[in-house]
Amino acid sequence: MEWDTPYGLPPFNKIEEKHYLPALEAGIKEQEAEIEAIVNDTAAPTFENTIAAYEKSGALLNKVSLVLFNLSESDASESLQKLMEQVLPMISEHSDNIFMNVKLFNRVDVIYNQQDKLDLTIEQKMVLDKMHRRFIRNGIGLDAQKQARLREINKQLSALEQKFGNNLLAETNAFQLIIDKEADLAGLPEAVRTAAAEAAKEAGMEGKWLFGLQKPSWVPFMQYSERRDLREKMFKAYAMRGNNDNANDNKKIVLDIMKLRIEKANMMGFDTPANFILDETMAKNSKTVNEFLAKIFVPAVAKAKKERAEMQQIIDREKGGFKLAAWDWDFYAEKLRQEKYALNEDAIKPYFQMENVRAGVFAVASKLYGLKFEKLDSVPTYHTDVETFKITDADGSLIGLFYTDYYPRTSKRGGAWMSNFRESHVVDGKEIRPIVVNVGNFTKPTATTPSLLTLDEVETMFHEFGHALHGLLTKCNYLSVSGTNVARDFVELPSQVLENWAFEPEVLAMYAKHYKTGEVIPADLVAKIQQTATFNQGFMTTELVAASILDMNWHDLTSVEGIDVNTFEKEQMAKIGLIEEIIPRYRTTYFNHIFNSGYSAGYYSYLWAEVLDKDAFELFKEKGIFDPETAKAFRKNILEKGGSDDPMKLYKQFRGAEPNPEAMIKGRGL
């Protein structure tokens, strides 16, 4: 039914699990009829009656699946996960029915081949090209037998990828470190203890302390716990997720996924999944990516070795009598930071109350782009943690609606992301404004303190809102190129560029206020935050590049015959010279980005886009970080354009030149 809610927001208070399946089935039927109408149109194929008509089709299916997909990631029950396992193959089959429809392709092909004679806009050309490519990449040129096999592969992949994610969530939730003696909490700050006591109470273990593998619990434990044996236990539990030979083991799933991805790439005429996937990106092939990553890995691991040596000195000075291990890194890095900069992260957190940081993110967007934010309290949401905002432009026109959902729960997968409940596009001349969500797993409030964020969480909030701006400010007419529907290695530019504002002194003065006194963060703390910007970057860059290389190694395979997942990972990491004190940011069995989140052969894109973002921010620094002209150029050429033009062309229109990669290496202090 039509959603009779303010701004057409989903009526979460009325949607029940039993509604999804019939609604999806109705949506599929409706789109099938719309496709039939396009195919059976007796008029000669035109952009309007074929491409635009397709873009307009599937509105109901889109509406329903966006709600379902979002909730299956951020608030999934067991029954919802089971429903997803049933639904994904259905949607995969429906998509194949469209993009293996010869009659529909023939119409698209006619338009594609005569596009030079047509008066198409740049955006329309991009939409046409994207649709034509989608048919080709979906096997329209294959014979019937191969198409049938490809359909089977697509169905199996959608089910396996969902299973990978479900297993990972179950593994993350399954581990609990229960502490019943206060002495075992040595080194842990008061706020961390309080949160652990509340977690234990919630789990029916009042009087104890409970730690888990969600980042707000795991990170401070690894950073501050003086109990080396418990750090080792926590570290291994985290690093072995999906790798415990139990019901949630992901090793066989990884091999099954890769076997199918290789077969699919081969069917499409590519030697590896990496080259098939990268054909649609700025990088174009795995050779380019591998060379790019190798260039960063060398200085990164060199810096990490220096960091390791400095931490070993502390251990030796304290007569520890052991060699630094992976579970010691965070603990001794924290000691080193305090020693070098007299900066204790716990002393900074009171200045980063979640609500204040969010107000700071909004203030930056307001100063750059003239946006206004209004909190809406009486609209339905899917969870009590979710808050809703209406965003308007400087002239008062509606930009879109925005949800924030920032705290961890067992029904939510780990990490942080941006998504849409509705994407911006134009239908029959009417502009449909987007509904965007930012999801995180930040430190929760306790009974005595509000949510106080770590520097990393602050940066993540800015990052995800950068994605949100891409989805909110887009001015595209067609869904397929709207907002974040861009090349995978371009999508991280708007998110990463916004991180650059987070700790600028001028910006900190706007939002970093002590949660008790309201006092603005003192200048000496700001100076320390600035000084530590490149602290531990050897470690951070190394683990990030190692994960990117691991992703490429999996997707560069031509066969998984005889491969053992753990041995393969170990050999690949030894080959590049990863030091044993560092593991990849994501090990294979919990690498959700590449096995369940659309970043396959794409994890490198965070670093790729960082080359763009650091280069872009250099311009802001030259002109002033809130320079109206530069902000206007970034909005007009990057944020509003979505995927409606070639990414490098858009970047050069903004910057006036190709990016200089030096800015990134410099930015990381390498």
Q: Which residues are catalytic?
A: 464
Q: Distance (Å, rounded) from C-alpha 455 to C-alpha 503?
A: 9
The residue type at 615 = D
Which 8-state DSSP code applies to residue 119? Answer: -
Q: Distance (Å, rounded) from C-alpha 113 to C-alpha 127?
A: 14
The residue type at 313 = Q
Q: Which two tokens stand for residue 658?
A: 């190709």
Please name which of 292, 357, 276, 169 lies closest in space to residue 548, comparing C-alpha atoms: 292
Task: Give DSSP secondary structure letters for 287-315.
Answer: HHHHHHHHHHHHHHHHHHHHHHHHHHHHH
Q: Judge whether 190 and 346 are in contact, CB under 8 Å.
A: no
Q: Judge whether 605 and 437 are in contact, CB under 8 Å.
A: no
Q: Which value, to the nearest 10 degrees, does the dihedral of the CA atoms of residues 317, 322, 325, 328 take?
A: -50
Query: What angle separates helix 78-99 from helix 59-74, to the nearest 10 degrees?
Result: 140
Place of tokens 């329309």: 124
Cβ burial of 437 (10 Å; 0-12, 13-18, 19+) is buried
Q: Judge whether 651 and 604 are in contact, CB under 8 Å.
A: no
Q: Distance (Å, rounded) from C-alpha 500 to C-alpha 630?
A: 15
Q: Distance (Å, rounded) from C-alpha 584 to C-alpha 539?
A: 10
Q: Distance (Å, rounded) from C-alpha 78 to C-alpha 410?
A: 11
Query: What angle separates helix 537-555 from helix 286-317, to the nearest 10 degrees?
Result: 140
Q: Distance (Å, rounded) from C-alpha 388 to C-alpha 390?
A: 7
The residue type at 229 = D
Q: What are phi and psi of 398, to 5 degrees?
A: -70, 125
Helices (H), 203-343: 215-224, 228-239, 251-267, 273-278, 286-317, 329-341
Q: Distance (Å, rounded) from C-alpha 652 to C-alpha 644?
A: 15
* β partners of residue 400: 391
